Structure 1
Amino acid sequence: MISKIKIHLADDHQVLIDGLTNLLQTVSNFEVVGNSLDGTTVYEEVVQNNADILILDISMPKKDGIETLKEFHEKKTPCKVIILSSYDDLKIIKEVMKLGAKGYLTKKCAGENIIEAIDAVYQGQEYFCDDVREKIFNSFTQNNPKLPANQYNENQLLSPREIEIITLIALEYSGKEISEQLFISTNTVETHRKNIMKKLHTKNTIGLVKYALKNNLINP
């Protein structure tokens, strides 16, 4: 029997919770185990239901999503959090990622991406919808004149996240600097680096730099 992914939904709009519940119930290995309309009960309910994934809104009454996320972060709760919010402000995105959120989607793209996001995060990956990913990427292209903006979507061999990683490697960012820039752990950076090298059939960083130059990921 396939183990189901247990999901808790936290949002102050019942209609959104109902809509997401109906959508997620169409996936055979998903199980919505609970929901919250304000932030005060989220932590207790997630722990009680042993949820694997929490879909969390930022704007919540009584206790907002950021304060709720801080509680999960401080208590090192194993449940993985995906932010689902109307906000796409870069400052908020950076803050929640530093607090351990594994994904961020805006509500306008949730319908087409939420299932993919849950699968990815459950498997230990990070997930950002296209709008959020582009906002993060553009936040450092503005400070790196060697980096052409909006190039990462043009390559099909590597994923958008892998394009970001290889670009920063080619710009001589260290693993720690990459982790801080993209709000991921150094272990995740190293995993991505190994996967990229395997895909490109290269044995060292020089090969990655050559690939980045050849595919216009950075300017010489």
Structure 2
Amino acid sequence: MIVRVMLVDDQTLVREGIKSLLSLSEKIQVVAEAGDGEQAISQLVENDIDVMLLDIRMPRMNGIQTLQALSEQGITVPVIMLTTFDDHELILQALQKGAKGYLLKDVSLETLVEGIETVYKGNTLIQPAITERVVQSLKGVSSEFESFSEPEKLSEKELEILRLMASGCSNREIAEAMFKSEGTIKNQVSSVLAKLGVRDRTRAVLKAIDLGLL
């Protein structure tokens, strides 16, 4: 099975770079390209698309506006947002508008292909982007702290929450992104901390990095 992808980015060099990267995989085929949201929607009519890679920042119709237009027209193609480290607030908006996840533009081929396959199968994809907010919170925290040497396995939902925590999201922001109540997220965050054997979110992120979960 080859997953058919549409690549949407206003920067030609970025599109060509990602397209060249994906050409190395036998599992993915870029069948359409667009420079903005308007072009993307018109291209969808002409092409059979399995997954859309959509840039957040574009002229005319940006990624958020494109997601809104897709929703209004009842188009349900899974969308992965292409982003940079400083797009934290826009990422949250995109998830709230129906994006299935996001990837950094400098992602490796393996991660990109895995991400496309993940959303193609109906799952969500949230790649950790350690933002300045998290980096600042990590300063002064010792790398040696109490935790479980062999933590209990986290569920898929808990891993998603952990990735959003690593991206610097508050419980409220995680709740909005995952369409859950803040109380539910608070309980799930507590479950993540308990399973990892740590006392706060910062140490949870550090432990997750150490375990290779992020």
TM-score (norm 2): 0.65
Residue 158, structure 1, aligned to residue 139, structure 2: no
Change (3 A) 1:40 1:98: same
Which of residues 189, 194, 198 is equivalent to 1:213?
194
Which of residues 3, 28, 31 is equivalent to 1:33?
31
Count of aligned pairs between the two proteins: 175
Change (3 A) 1:216 1:178: farther
* Structure possessing the higher relative contact order (Cα contacts under 8 Å, 6 or more residues apart): 2
CA-to-aligned-CA distance 1:85-115 (integer Å, 9 cap, x gap): 2353322111111100011122233555211
Say if 2:22 and 2:109, in contact at 8 Å, map to a contact too. no
Change (3 A) 1:88 1:106: farther
d(CA) in 2 for partners of 1:62, 1:34: 19
Q: Which has the higher helix share?
A: 1
The residue number in structure 1 matching 2:55 is 57
d(CA) in 2 for partners of 1:63, 1:43: 10
2:99 partner SS: coil
Structure 1, unmatched stretches of 5+, are 142-150, 167-176, 187-204
The residue number in structure 2 matching 1:16 is 14
CA-to-aligned-CA distance 1:28-70 (integer Å, 9 cap, x gap): 2322110012332111202321211110112222222221111
> Which residue type is aligned with residue 33 of structure 2?
N
Residue 130, structure 1, aligned to residue 124, structure 2: no
| Structure 1 position 217, deviation (Å) | 4.7
1:120 partner SS: helix
Structure 2, unmatched stretches of 5+, are 138-146, 163-170, 181-186, 201-214
| Structure 1 position 212, deviation (Å) | 5.0
d(CA) in 2 for partners of 1:64, 1:110: 24
Which of residues 68, 93, 96 is equivalent to 2:94?
96
d(CA) in 2 for partners of 1:159, 1:179: 20
| Structure 1 position 161, deviation (Å) | 4.7
Give percent identity, aligned residues only.
29
CA-to-aligned-CA distance 1:126-160 (integer Å, 9 cap, x gap): 112221xx55x96xx9xxxxxxxxx8xx9583367
